[in-house]
Amino acid sequence: MKHNFDFENCSPTNPFSTPEGYFEKFARKIEAATAPKQISLAQRSRPYWYAAAAVALVLSIGAFFFQDYRNDAIIKEQAKELASNPDEDAIKRILEEETSEAMIIDYILADAE
């Protein structure tokens, strides 16, 4: 059987086919794959959470050092009071204010230096 191929007179025919509905499914697949990503409320507010955490951290550090400074001031005040008026009432009152012995010793040693 002869199969001469005549380019002049033989019109090109596409011999291939695809599964049913292939191009429609393909278009939907690409549309979904390229769709802009929806950002959730949690993702959108994430920078604000980071900022709030940073502010809280700075405030905590500040409060810690302020508390330390305030304790020093109280100790100094109490020690001064003790030195100027070393009566039993003053000692009692200071002890009632829960100033520790160690704090008083620290102040006296510091003063001695």
Residues binding other proteins (CB under 8 A): 2-5, 7, 12-19, 22-23, 26-27, 29-31, 33-36
Specify the residue, 6 or 97, whose C-beta has the smaller distance to other proteins: 6
Is residue 36 within 8 A of residue 67, CB to CB? The reply is: no
Q: What angle do CA 39, 44, 49 make, to 5 degrees?
A: 150
Is residue 106 within 8 A of residue 75, CB to CB? The reply is: yes
Min separation Cβ 62 and other proteins, Å: 43
The whole-angstrom separation of Cα 68 and Cα 33 is 58
Specify the residue, 36 or 86, whose C-beta has the smaller distance to other proteins: 36
Specify the residue, 21 or 86, whose C-beta has the smaller distance to other proteins: 21
Min separation Cβ 24 and other proteins, Å: 9
